[in-house]
Structure 1
């Protein structure tokens, strides 16, 4: 199992883990109220870096987003220079990366390519392995930690640098406002008076290694599960979060769990859902807290940042209080901490949920659980579909087509599916992944994966949801015609395509979206093999799903079945 040998947090409250830890311990917050800001014509509360902090972090030839990640990583590995080797890989966790500069880069869209950003950061650090970006909405950080653990357990690498990072911009803030998810005042996780979330920006890094050191923390278990319910609303019963928790704590004594660090966004639906999941999992008596009142929702950084802070607090014998929590406002039985508490326990759970129906959790422990047990997993491909702007090949057989481009996707829907009108509301990336997957499952004919965690979904590309990003930008760039589109904004998260499939077929297994610098089938194979480290996963719909524009797209996907 993977051991944590280094960490760092860079946030508006400090540039080291210690500075952030002490700030939270003293009850400080980075949240600030703004009556308006450049490009944002409404009041909001968020956690933002000052201009002086931004200038101090700026790295030559890197964007602000990339500079944040670079400095956090370099601080985390300061005591471990040996980590820079050919057996180390960077796993970046981010929801929107460089999207804040999209409006200023009309002639160079490649600058917001997350895979390219990860490559630049990885090269500057001095790593030779190609990096991986986890872009799985709000659960990206915990998803990245789980992936890192599996890569080490499966002996794909010796060390993994996990960096969660996101910055705020009018693009993101306007999008959450369009969903009516923001609170104008400071957020109040799990409280009866909660009104919504606050956003934040940060970078947080964990260094994981197959070589544990004495007294270091270890990732004991973890799981990712989909609700199969809705792309932007959680299951009322917290089904995915509950299933993830059950898998994570399997065989664990609750007596040693100090705290459940919840996602705790302070939205009505998220906190209610989490309370039901925690209660159903038998964790009602375990103290639970949420840290969004200190940093806001830092998106791709949240899972990593909150894991680090919880790790250091439990090691210091304390559990942080949930800032602004006064009276319980959820129906699930949960033990929310409102102030600093003492603990002598040495394990904790980090849980998180997000758009696309994703839920993830990990169990982290300071107790020595022994050395690495290598997990070797393999799969065989049973069916494959390749769909491009002008071709369709099913298990090696070309189909006759009358249309090309976007008209081809619509024609294939009408001809081969026709019973799922939500197709017409999807963005182009989701339409492409949906059509290719439907044809793939028709080739399979029979399966028994509905309402079980046995089938996962893992899609990859290089450009995330760039086509939809550009479309959403058009709804906010004209101040005289400012009308952010909530339906477009949700689809600017590339993992939504996996959520659409989970909903359509009631798939409750792991769903994930990865961004790579280029189409790397060896890397894709490694990651899908690692998904089978979760023994409940027997089959994966996986492969490449890339939509550039109506004249350039490709889905090359397959069904992978575990063979051992």
Structure 2
């Protein structure tokens, strides 16, 4: 059973992990907290483990912060490689099977640790007697981190936390057809409605110096602009704001562009600058980086522009993570058509 879970963001860099490990640590900590277990209760630790210097360094630091340095740890990628977007679900299934059988696979090819904070890693398979809990982690582009607490045999204790919080709408931003509306007031109108003209003019009107804006894909530019107006003058701690996003198309527009490059020029011509945006959660990551948000964030596929379901989820999230604010957003970009609606919700039960 999955008894706890959490997702966070490093708010650091679009493709490079945090140098401190705090983002992943927040997800690990909250997953254990939601399940009602502590570090001493965790029998297995299955990590993202890409065998790259910065990722492995970050993960070792996160495990240390979480008090899990002595727990048997592994990465399964040496067996079948990095399955990209499928890696989280594939490795979680295998973690559940390991937990069920009490067999913890060794890390194939492991010889010695190369990380600053020690981890309990072995190349040999290990038998673990009556294991009950495994913490599985994953990390990805945009500094996104996730952790789930798996339990077998002995369920985790029920959480005593509130199940939902009352949320009060503070501000609403809508973008479409070359216009930005904040609540019921027009905040910006572009000279043209096409997205490239609109996005350039809207960004320049903000008078920001972040030239990385021009490297983003169109979905991220749209989210970046909406969040800029949404969070004007709003104050919060880095863990006090969460993001719950939805959309009908996700990153499909960028996926199509990425595939077109491969089809016309071959695999070797695939652009890393495009590939990094072929995950819809990256729009939340760009928002997190810009506004220093390390709280919970998640993406849902949905056509519902009223955001009724994700607002319910935001209410649950605000209670379980004691958030001060939660951003609920629906965002779509496909073939030049664009629409975004962002609402800032305040936790009035806090």
- TM-score exceeds 0.5: yes
Greater RCO (Cα-Cα under 8 Å, separation 6 or more): 2
Tell me if structure 2 keeps the 8 A contact 1:475–1:482. Answer: no
Q: Post-superposition shift, 1:356?
A: 1.3
Which residues of 2 match residues 372-411 of structure 1 at below 5 A? 375-399=163-187, 401-403=189-191, 404-406=193-195, 407-411=197-201
Tell me if structure 2 keeps the 8 A contact 1:287–1:335. Answer: yes
SS in 1 for 2:321: coil
Equivalent residue for 1:496, pick from 282, 292, 305: 282
Q: Distance in 2 between matches of 1:413 and 1:480?
A: 34
Provide the aligned C-alpha RMSD in A: 2.3
Q: Post-superposition shift, 1:315?
A: 2.6
Tell me if structure 1 keeps the 8 A contact 2:138–2:146. Answer: yes
Give the aligned partner of residue 80 of structure 2. 295
Equivalent residue for 1:513, pick from 290, 299, 306: 299
**Do residues 537 (structure 1) and 335 (structure 2) align?**
no
Q: 1:541 to 1:309 in 2, by over 3 A?
A: same
Equivalent residue for 2:17, pick from 208, 225, 234: 234
Tell me if structure 1 keeps the 8 A contact 2:164–2:317. Answer: no
Which residues of 2 match residues 75-474 of structure 1 at below 5 A? 219-250=2-33, 252-344=37-129, 345-366=131-152, 367-369=154-156, 375-399=163-187, 401-403=189-191, 404-406=193-195, 407-442=197-232, 445-449=233-237, 452-474=238-260
User: 1:244-289 deviations in whole A, cap 9, x for unaligned?
Assistant: 2223334634343211111112223222211121122221111101
Tell me if structure 1 keeps the 8 A contact 2:49–2:55. Answer: yes
User: 1:533-555 deviations in whole A, cap 9, x for unaligned?
Assistant: 432322112211111233x2111
SS in 2 for 1:478: helix
**Structure 1 stretches lacking a partner, 5+ long:** 5-218
Q: 1:222 to 1:412 in 2, by over 3 A?
A: same
Tell me if structure 1 keeps the 8 A contact 2:111–2:123. Answer: yes
Higher deviation after alignment, 352-361 or 365-374: 365-374
Q: Distance in 2 between matches of 1:256 and 1:372?
A: 15
Which residues of 2 match residues 21-60 of structure 1 at below 5 A? none
**Structure 2 stretches lacking a partner, 5+ long:** none
SS in 1 for 2:299: strand
Q: Post-superposition shift, 1:293?
A: 2.2
Q: Distance in 2 between matches of 1:558 and 1:398?
A: 16
The TM-score, its normalising length taken from structure 2, stands at 0.90
The TM-score, its normalising length taken from structure 1, stands at 0.57
Q: State the aligned residue count.
A: 342
Q: Distance in 1 between matches of 2:252 and 2:69?
A: 42
Q: 1:402 to 1:537 in 2, by over 3 A?
A: closer
